[in-house]
Structure 1
Amino acid sequence: MVRASSFRSFGKKLKRHVRRDTNSNGHEVTLKLGQHAVGYVSGDQYYGAKASINVWAPSVANQYEFSLSQMWVISGSFGDDLNTIEAGWQVSPELYGDNYPRFFTYWTTDAYQATGCYNLLCSGFVQTNNRIAIGAAISPTSSYTGGQFDISLLIWKVTNENQDGNSYS
């Protein structure tokens, strides 16, 4: 909580402005902020996703930058009804106070407007495995000429089916 600007912003994603620089000709350029791949399915018979993500320890230039690799499960549209559950690893000196890759979770139910939080910093996320420390540093990490290491992630909606065949969450 010491690193948060206020109690209300503790654990929340910060609204970030796109950084712009100038090239050698003096023209303004927008820096690429990330790479991503998307796979999607539609329907109502899906209860989760699984991923294996290679873990690295990238350098970030300052405490306000971060790097991550994540699985992002979404529902709704990119309007006010967007719901996400995110999990993976991130290097975030601002959030963790160091430059280690750490296991993280994040969620929102209103497109990052008023809800959502990292890890267990606020209510809304229930951890079901007591052997995994959310927010913990991950080691060992992969290297270009050395070993490769990964983490396996599973995000799963737990349902209880009663005798009449109806499912309840």
Structure 2
Amino acid sequence: MEPTSTAAVTPVLLVAGAYGTNGPYHGARADVPNWKVDVQPREFSMNYIMVGYTLDKDYRPYPSSDPPKTLANQIVVGLVAWPALYGDSLSRLFIYYTNDSGAQTNCFNLDCDGFHLQNSSFALGSWSDSLSQHGGERYGVTLSIHRVSQINLMLLSSTVSVLK
């Protein structure tokens, strides 16, 4: 018998993070595993890395401090399973950028001029059939965001691989 409750479901946001505050840093690199996720039509699941900085001139990083409240400039890259956008729950490569904490600028994939695709063997919005298995091989994407300061450019690289 199906449950008949019509009680409202409270949205849940689960976040785990690590951050560095002892810069200067010029980018980040991470291995992002690719799992088969169970995502309902009105849900999404993201696994990503983010590079960002605050414009808060009073923010002072120190060991064990919280990250800044706002990150005006952000570049986020990772895997997203988003049935409302893609029509399925496959984990797909995405990139997101804002330069104003998302107030006006919210660039997702190539939907605005914040990104310029130059060369990629793993296109934005694409997926891999190689899925991680519990107790077995872990497959995923090695992602890197790196700043080229001479030309004020952020580069993204991605490689699908077996993760160690």
Q: Could you state the TM-score of these two structures normalised by the residue count of structure 1? A: 0.70
Q: 1:102 to 1:110 in 2, by over 3 A?
A: same
Q: How far did residue 121 of structure 1 move?
A: 1.7
Look up the match of 2:134: 144
Look up the match of 1:65: 43
Q: Is residue 26 of structure 2 the alignment partner of residue 35 of structure 1?
A: no
Q: How far did residue 146 of structure 1 move?
A: 3.2
Q: How far did residue 68 of structure 1 move?
A: 1.1
Task: Show structure 1 runs of 4+ deviating over 6 A.
Answer: none
Q: Following the alignment from structure 1 to structure 2, what is the Cα–Cα distance between the partners of residues 32 and 51?
A: 25
SS at 2:113 equivalent? coil
Mapping of 1:83-94 within 5 angstroms? 83-94=73-84
Q: RMSD of aligned C-alpha atoms? A: 1.9
Q: Is residue 32 of structure 2 the alignment partner of residue 53 of structure 1?
A: yes
Contact 1:82 1:111 in 2 (8 A): yes
Deviations 1:70-118 (A, max 9, x none): 0011111534x61110001010011222211101100111111110221
Q: How far did residue 149 of structure 1 move?
A: 0.6
Alignment identity in percent? 31
Q: Following the alignment from structure 1 to structure 2, what is the Cα–Cα distance between the partners of residues 59 and 133?
A: 23
Number of equivalenced pairs:
132
Contact 1:57 1:91 in 2 (8 A): no
Mapping of 1:15-164 within 5 angstroms? 21=9, 32-43=12-23, 45-62=24-41, 64-76=42-54, 77-79=68-70, 82-160=72-150
Q: Following the alignment from structure 2 to structure 1, what is the Cα–Cα distance between the partners of residues 93 and 126?
A: 6
Q: 1:140 to 1:86 in 2, by over 3 A?
A: same
Q: Following the alignment from structure 1 to structure 2, what is the Cα–Cα distance between the partners of residues 157 and 34?
A: 29
Q: Following the alignment from structure 2 to structure 1, what is the Cα–Cα distance between the partners of residues 107 and 128?
A: 20
Q: Following the alignment from structure 2 to structure 1, what is the Cα–Cα distance between the partners of residues 25 and 110?
A: 25
Unaligned runs of 5+ residues in structure 2 are: 1-7, 55-67, 153-164
